[in-house]
């Protein structure tokens, strides 16, 4: 199964969007992510189990290790997230009720700073600007705001890249899940049933579970999905309105403090993965799984960029060594083992070649000067 490529900007993704008599926002330049928290996959696994479905084959299809999901702070590659969604959609193709239920489980806390900003948004106008200007992380869709002057309707429009077939399970899953998530969020914001004006779905039929969630407001459309309400509600203060907290968390969400951005440069994406605590000893095969590609494919792409995986890993290992020597009391032998060095002597030689000091000497001086300026060698790079 191929993985949808969403690592390109999204300015031209809205080709299937209906023109409004009023105005619609232009989609932002979409960020891509090297990795995201595993929470979204955990949610889908939980829903699968609740309905008697085994998520293990889906995890294998996306090259996700089950042990990563057991960690509360576990992260996976963005392409792994998409691969799992595609596998999940295919496995539940005839269970749109599962897709809708999945969407309702993406509560505000699932989105970290973005979710915190959304739940304290002063008005609907503030709330809807967030998904339209900040990437929603777990979704391949693009969100835009719209205002129709002739009908007096405002809301959010949801579309997928034009290369995703509308008949595909992944397309229909994404629409169902994200419309359900938005509807559930609006109910939460409103502290009760939100007065939706209209929900348009670019599907062959309206899923009964979605009708149950949004009422009789759901209708079919040939264009992008839309969730609309009366325009006069845009500036009504919301129950949990807090402008100070909104500004703080919206600012953090815009800087993506909680997430790891993907660079368009492959070497930087690989370096970001290797730089995670405990990951500097990963092999090329391990990193390839994070990208949901084969070892051979990743090696070929690195070769095309004239990048050495060995050098990237060596930098990550020795930076991790500095952190462990400074922040922990682990024996040097254990640090060497954690960094995948077979022998302590090999680790000591590599560290001294890089920093100019033995691991023990580095630890001794760094401990004594912890609160003063760092030693000159802390900013060195291997081979310099």
CA gap 26, 156 in Å, rounded? 12
CB 163, CB 43: distance < 8 Å = no
Q: What is the mean pLDDT of residues 250-273?
A: 70
CB 297, CB 288: distance < 8 Å = yes
> Residue 36's pLDDT is what?
79
> Residue 66's pLDDT is what?
84
Q: Which of 218, 219, 233 is nearest to 147 (CA)?
A: 233
Confidence label for 302 from pLDDT (cuts 50, 70 and 90): confident
> Residue 332's pLDDT is what?
92
Residue 96: phi and psi, rounded to 5, are: -65, -20
- Which residues fall within 8 angstroms of residue 149, CB to CB, at 6 or more apart? 21, 22
Percent of the chain at pLDDT > 90 equals 47
With a cut of 50, say whether residue 340 has pLDDT above it. Answer: yes
Prediction pTM value: 0.66
To 5 degrees, how large is the angle CA 305–CA 310–CA 314? 120
Query: Per-residue pLDDT tens for 303-329?
Result: 877 889 998 998 888 888 988 898 787
> Residue 307's pLDDT is what?
85
> Residue 49's pLDDT is what?
97
Q: What is the mean pLDDT of residues 258-275?
A: 70
Of 50-59, 77-86, 89-98, minimum mean pLDDT range:
77-86
CA gap 232, 235 in Å, rounded? 7
> Residue 376's pLDDT is what?
41
Q: Residue 376: which region, alpha, beta or left (left: phi > 0; alpha: psi -120 to 50)?
A: alpha
> Residue 37's pLDDT is what?
85
Higher-scoring residue by pLDDT: 377, 57: 57
Q: What is the mean pLDDT of residues 146-171?
A: 93
> Residue 193's pLDDT is what?
94
DSSP string for 165-193: -TTSHHHHHHHHHHHHHHHHHHHHHHTS-
Q: What is the mean pLDDT of residues 34-62?
A: 93
Q: Mean pLDDT score of the chain, rounded to an integer?
A: 83
CA gap 344, 330 in Å, rounded? 13
Percent of the chain at pLDDT > 70 equals 83
Q: What is the mean pLDDT of residues 11-37?
A: 45
């Amino acid at each position: 199964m191929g993985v949808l490529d969403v690592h390109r900007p999204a300015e031209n993704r809205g080709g299937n969007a209906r023109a409004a008599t009023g105005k619609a926002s232009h989609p932002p330049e979409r960020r891509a992510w090297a990795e995201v928290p595993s929470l979204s996959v955990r949610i889908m696994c939980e829903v699968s189990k609740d309905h008697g479905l085994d998520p293990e084959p889906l995890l294998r299809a996306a090259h996700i290790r089950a042990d990563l999901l057991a960690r509360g702070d576990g992260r996976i590659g963005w392409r792994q997230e998409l691969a799992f969604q595609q596998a999940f959609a295919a496995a539940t193709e005839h269970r749109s009720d599962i897709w809708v239920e999945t969407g309702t489980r993406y509560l505000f806390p699932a989105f970290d700073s973005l979710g915190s900003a959304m739940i304290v948004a002063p008005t609907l106008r503030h709330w809807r600007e967030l998904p339209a200007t900040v990437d929603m992380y777990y979704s391949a869709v693009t969100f835009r705001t719209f205002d129709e002057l002739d009908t007096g309707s405002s809301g959010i429009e949801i579309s997928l890249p034009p290369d995703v077939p509308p008949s595909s399970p992944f397309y229909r899953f994404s629409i169902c899940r994200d419309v359900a998530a938005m509807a559930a969020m609006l109910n939460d914001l409103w502290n009760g049933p939100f007065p939706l004006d209209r929900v348009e779905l670019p599907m062959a039929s309206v899923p009964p579970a979605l009708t149950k969630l949004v009422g009789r407001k759901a209708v079919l459309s040939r264009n992008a999905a839309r969730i609309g309400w009366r325009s006069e509600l845009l500036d009504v203060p919301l129950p949990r309105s807090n402008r100070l907290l909104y500004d703080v968390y919206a600012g953090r969400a815009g800087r993506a403090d909680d997430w790891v951005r993907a660079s368009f440069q492959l070497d930087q994406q690989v370096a970001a993965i290797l730089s995670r605590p405990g990951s500097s000893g990963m092999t090329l095969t391990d990193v390839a799984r994070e990208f949901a590609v084969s070892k051979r494919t990743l090696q070929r792409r690195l070769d095309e960029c004239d990048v050495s995986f060995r050098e990237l890993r060596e930098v990550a290992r020795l930076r991790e060594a500095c952190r462990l020597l400074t922040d922990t009391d682990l024996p040097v032998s254990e640090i060497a083992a954690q960094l995948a060095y077979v022998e302590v002597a090999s680790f000591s030689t590599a560290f001294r070649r890089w920093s100019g000091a033995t691991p023990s000497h580095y630890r001794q001086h760094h401990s004594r000067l912890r609160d003063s300026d760092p030693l000159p060698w802390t900013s060195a790079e291997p081979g310099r």
